[in-house]
Amino acid sequence: MSETALASFSGVKRHFGNTVALRGLSLDVVEGSVCGLLGPNGSGKTTAIRILLGLSRANAGSTSLFGSSPGESDFAAAVRQTGSLIEGPALYGRATARQNMKIQAAARGLGNNSAEIDRLLGMVGLSGRADTNARGFSLGMKQRLGLAIALLGGPRLVILDEPTNGLDPSGIVEIRELIKRLPESGVTVLVSSHLLAEVQLMCDRVTIIDRGSMVADGTMAEILAQAGAEGGYRIKVAAGEVEAATRILSEIGLEVMPAQNSELAIGGPIDDGSQISCVLAGSGIYVSELRRNNPDLEGVFLALTGGIDGERTQG
Amino acid sequence: MRAEFAKVRSMPTPFWCAFAALVFFLGGIAGCVIWGIGQESAALDLGIGIPTSIIAIVFGVWLFGVEYGQNTLRRTLTADPRRMRLIISKLIVLLVIIALVTVLLHLLAFVLYNLAASGHDGSLSAETVFRYGASSLLENVVNGIVGMAFALITASMAGGMTIALVFIFILDGIISIIPRVGDYTLGLAVVDISNSILGFSGEFFGETIGRSWEVATLIMIAWLLLLMALGALRFVRSDVK
């Protein structure tokens, strides 16, 4: 994977009156990745994206999109290589889905593009509603149309702000799969979300921001390791054997914590779960359940941000 | 600019503006059949001039108001972030469409109004239609630009419409009664230029009123530049929601 940053933030600060939205945010969006921008509501994700696209101004710091900053002569060319869906799809409600796409195609300076419009409408499952006014669409359909509009003209970078908002479960899966496939066609994706599972399933890199600052950044594996979210194992033994199992496993250097229902949480240097069952079986204790604790982003996120608090900052 | 014309083609407001202009134009034909052209070419004023001057305000406000009303400005500016260029594109669309509609209606009126009024005395000469068309074009362009400027200044469809109508029909009149200052209102400047185009005398009961068209034109341009500059300043410097 190339390590070229298509978009970057450097010490970006933004406040709205006394409310601080961004406190010196710095991050890079690496080419070829699906990068997740994760943070609680109000952590500054949307404000950061707006500043990157020139819709808002930073009070300090700088942003770069394809090497260009807002106000520079080649910024328009950089924006034209970027598709975006920010805070909902922003549609002309009294125009049809197809007309909405034609308007955007014209605004992006694309030529005759009926075939591409049809292809994209089909890709997001709106072929049958192409000539329906967008105001009659459900939120999920509007979101799909917004995504199709973001992909017009084959952008190199796609920025999606909460792209699965309003979608039903099957719609969420479809859009997630679609987003995951985008790098195959050379598209880099920046997805902002407050949905931990979504980011974990969709992204290969993640940046966690909280109160306008970056608190973690890296590949998913790096992030999970960063907050000590190593997996470990859980085993279940007979109720009368919990103490003995705890002693035996502790003696071989493992960290053992009793849990509910005759379960033990086990950490430490374990290469394979079979080691645990093998040692215990040698002492006549037979494990009835053994499972690996899958580390998840939720634990990391809560550890890094101190929980979800939606009313702290704007953006 | 292609996108702006595409919006005009796709949205209902321009359609209803065109529909309203057509209805009034057809009303003018009916009026010609019943009463003839009327004094001082009243059919042109009632069938085209007055209706299109109000429609021009609505259309001028709509061009930016629709973006604010439907929150689509962020989409427009993420396709092309050059805000001044967007203002110029919309301004050109405004001028082109107003010019096309005004000229077309007056050309049609020359043929159809004369035909409809053939049973009555009096007809529209080519020169009369030309003068009224030019005067109407001027007023429509001014009203359209004022509408667009107030949509930008208020960053709102409803706000722009309200303030533009209040400015043109009330505030401008109030300013005109203020001694000295009142001589420099936009409305009076447009009236002076229109009178000059229509060939009306600047005398009222033997007393000369109004200014030369050159001075009036300067005043008009100054007003339009001031309003558009205020609107552009707000648009260029503001965060886009």
Contact, B117 vs B31, CB < 8 A?
no
Rounded to the nearest integer, the mean pLDDT of chain A is 85
Chain B contacts of A108, Cβ < 8 Å?
Answer: 79-80
The reported pLDDT for the residue numbered B38 is: 84
ipTM above 0.85, yes or no: no
Partners of B28 in the β-ladder = none
B236 CB near a chain A CB, below 8 Å? no
- At residue A1, does pLDDT exceed 60? no
A157 CB near a chain B CB, below 8 Å? no
- Find the CB nearest A103 among B10, B12, B71: B10
Q: Quick one: average pLDDT of A18-35?
A: 89
Q: Quick one: average pLDDT of A30-46?
A: 87
Confidence grade of residue A82 (pLDDT, cut at 50, 70, 90): very high
Confidence grade of residue A315 (pLDDT, cut at 50, 70, 90): very low
The reported pLDDT for the residue numbered A32 is: 86
Contact B79 A86 (CB under 8 A): no
Chain B contacts of A88, Cβ < 8 Å?
Answer: 71
Chain B contacts of A76, Cβ < 8 Å?
Answer: 80-82
H or E element in which residue B60 lies: helix B50-69
CA B136 – CA B147 distance, rounded (Å)? 16
Chain A contacts of B71, Cβ < 8 Å?
Answer: 88, 90
A148 CB near a chain B CB, below 8 Å? no
Contact A99 B10 (CB under 8 A): yes
Query: Which residue has 């239609």 as its token pair?
Result: B129
Contact B239 A70 (CB under 8 A): no
Quote the minimal CA–CA distance from B144 to chain A in Å: 22
A15 CB near a chain B CB, below 8 Å? no
In CATH terms, the fold of domain A233-292 is: Alpha-Beta Plaits (3.30.70)
Q: Number of residue pairs across A and B with CB atoms under 8 Å? A: 78
Confidence grade of residue A312 (pLDDT, cut at 50, 70, 90): very low
The reported pLDDT for the residue numbered A309 is: 47
Instruction: Please tell me the number of Cα atoms within 13 Å of B84 on its side-chain side.
Output: 5
Contact, A93 vs B66, CB < 8 A?
no
| CA atoms B185, B191, B196, B200: torsion sign | negative
A106 CB near a chain B CB, below 8 Å? yes
Contact A103 B3 (CB under 8 A): yes
Contact B81 A79 (CB under 8 A): yes
Matching fold, domains A5-81+156-227+301-305 and A233-292: no
Helices (H), ranges, B70-185: 73-79, 83-116, 126-154, 157-166, 172-176
In this predicted model, which residue has the larger pLDDT, B201 or A247?
A247
Range of weakest confidence among A100-109, A285-294, B14-23, B164-173: A285-294
In this predicted model, which residue has the larger pLDDT, B205 or A276?
A276
pLDDT tens, position by position, A251-271: 888 888 887 778 888 877 777
B3 CB near a chain A CB, below 8 Å? yes
A-chain residue closest to B240, CA distance: A55
A54 CB near a chain B CB, below 8 Å? yes
Tell me the residues of chain B between 65 and 94 that have a Cβ less than 8 Å away from chain A: 66, 70-72, 74-82
Q: In this structure, what DSSP letter does residue A292 have?
A: E
Interface probe, candidates B11, B15, B78, B86, chain A, greatest A C-beta count within 10 A: B78
Interface probe, candidates A15, A63, A103, chain B, greatest B C-beta count within 10 A: A103
pLDDT tens, position by position, B188-228: 999 999 988 988 766 656 666 667 888 999 999 999 999 99
The reported pLDDT for the residue numbered A311 is: 41
- At residue B11, does pLDDT exceed 80? yes
CA B56 – CA B33 distance, rounded (Å)? 27
Contact, A113 vs B2, CB < 8 A?
no
Tell me the residues of chain B between 4 and 43 that have a Cβ less than 8 Å away from chain A: 5-7, 10-12
The reported pLDDT for the residue numbered B151 is: 97
The ranges assigned to domains in chain B are 2-237
The reported pLDDT for the residue numbered B121 is: 85
The ranges assigned to domains in chain A are 5-81+156-227+301-305, 233-292
**What is the three-class DSSP state of A255?**
strand
In CATH terms, the fold of domain A5-81+156-227+301-305 is: Rossmann fold (3.40.50)
Task: Report the percent of chain A where pLDDT is more than 90.
Answer: 32
The reported pLDDT for the residue numbered A228 is: 56
Partners of B203 in the β-ladder = B208
- Cα A69 to the chain's mean position, in Å? 24
The reported pLDDT for the residue numbered B171 is: 93
Q: Quick one: average pLDDT of B151-167?
A: 96
A110 CB near a chain B CB, below 8 Å? no
pLDDT tens, position by position, A138-158: 888 898 899 999 999 889 999
Q: Quick one: average pLDDT of B83-92?
A: 96
Q: What is the pTM of this model?
A: 0.82
Contact A50 B239 (CB under 8 A): yes
- At residue A23, does pLDDT exceed 60? yes
The radius of gyration of chain B's CA atoms, rounded to the nearest angstrom, is 19
The reported pLDDT for the residue numbered A269 is: 74
CB-based contacts of A131, cutoff 8 Å, min separation 6: A96, A97, A98
- Find the CB nearest A92 among B11, B81, B240: B11
In this predicted model, which residue has the larger pLDDT, A211 or A226?
A211
- Find the CB nearest B11 among A57, A94, A102: A94
pLDDT tens, position by position, A161-192: 988 887 888 888 888 888 888 888 889 999 99
The reported pLDDT for the residue numbered A308 is: 47
B240 CB near a chain A CB, below 8 Å? yes
Contact A106 B3 (CB under 8 A): yes
